[in-house]
Amino acid sequence: AAPRPAHGCGSGALLGRFGVLLQALLALCAFSTLMLKRFKEPKAERRPWRIWFYDTSKQAIGALFIHFANVFLSDLTEEDPCSLYLINFILDATLGMLLIWLGVKVVSWIVQHKKYTYLVFGEYGDPPQAAAWIGQCILYLLIMVFEKTVISLVLLIPGWTKLQQILLGYIPSPQLELVLVMFVVPFIVNAIMFWVVDSLIMRKYKQKETLDINGSTETPGARRTEESQVLLSPDMDFDQSESDQDVSGLWGTSQKMKQPSYQVVI
């Protein structure tokens, strides 16, 4: 039999009854932050529930893929699976977050360059189309596969065993370690990641409300103010110009009348 670790949770603890209960509680608490984020949005820019579901469900699919990939990778060796899961999770939250941001930027540039309108993250058409949501889910899932592949290659670098001992080696209770690894730390980090990624892939309402006119960015309020000034200015200028012309004409006539006439007498 393979030797069990002197500390930490044993093999299969992540998928045990207690571990599954912690994962369900984690999912409920973590995704509640996305609902809180929706209510924190200004009322004028708040997304309808259908759009909000389309945006957040992409993250749900990606997070589930990452989670089960981490659980699978954590049970591949004889090391403490809780420590391995925590290392995977920390790498996903640091280097992985950078890879996700880079992947979203690259994919968005390609989609806009090819003019695939329905594949732009956050754009689903009017009315919203389920086909656009499915296409964006596939793109986001491909980004998550790329991220997890890079993280798995990073884990092949030797020296992670010492980090495992540093992170959780001082915790004597396997259940306490499981709570820290599967609930406390993931909840804090996932809440931050979900908030940031949701802002990254949602529709940019503020950008769509600004207008670039002659290289200058103007808001609709400024544009309406300028339009009102333009609408009012022609009549005023016209009246003023006519009055100026009339005054100048009268002034010129009076000047002509006042000018003395000279005759040359030989």
Report the pLDDT value the prediction gives residue 5, as an integer from 0 to 100.
45
Asked, for residue 184, whether it belongs to a domain, the answer is yes
Asked, for residue 202, whether it belongs to a domain, the answer is yes
Q: Is residue 24 packed enough to be buried (19+ CB in 10 Å), middle (13-18) or exposed (0-12)? A: exposed
Residues 173-184 as b/e (b if ≥16 CB within 10 A, e otherwise) read: ebeebbbbbbbe
CA distance 57 to 62: 9
Asked, for residue 36, whether it belongs to a domain, the answer is yes
Please count the structural domains in the chain. 1
Report the pLDDT value the prediction gives residue 145, as an integer from 0 to 100.
94
From residue 186, how far is each of 27, 37, 190, 192, 228 by CA, in Å?
Answer: 10, 18, 6, 10, 53
Across the chain, which has 266 residues, the per-10-residue mean pLDDT values are 50 76 85 84 85 88 89 79 85 91 92 86 86 92 94 84 67 79 84 83 55 43 48 47 50 51 48
Asked, for residue 8, whether it belongs to a domain, the answer is no
Report the pLDDT value the prediction gives residue 249, as an integer from 0 to 100.
53
Q: Which residue segment(s) compose the domain that 113 sits in?
A: 13-207
Asked, for residue 241, whether it belongs to a domain, the answer is no
Report the pLDDT value the prediction gives residue 134, as an integer from 0 to 100.
93
Asked, for residue 124, whether it belongs to a domain, the answer is yes
Report the pLDDT value the prediction gives residue 123, as an integer from 0 to 100.
86
What residue has token string 């009322």?
43
CA distance 265 to 158: 120
Asked, for residue 244, whether it belongs to a domain, the answer is no
Closest C-alpha to 23, from 54, 52, 58, 63: 63
CA distance 193 to 190: 5
Asked, for residue 253, whether it belongs to a domain, the answer is no
Note the helical H segments in the chain: 17-40, 49-74, 81-93, 95-114, 130-154, 160-168, 174-179, 185-201, 205-209, 220-258
CA distance 145 to 18: 28
Report the pLDDT value the prediction gives residue 211, as an integer from 0 to 100.
39
Report the pLDDT value the prediction gives residue 10, as an integer from 0 to 100.
67
Q: Which residues contact 101 (CB under 8 A, 6 or more apart)?
A: 200
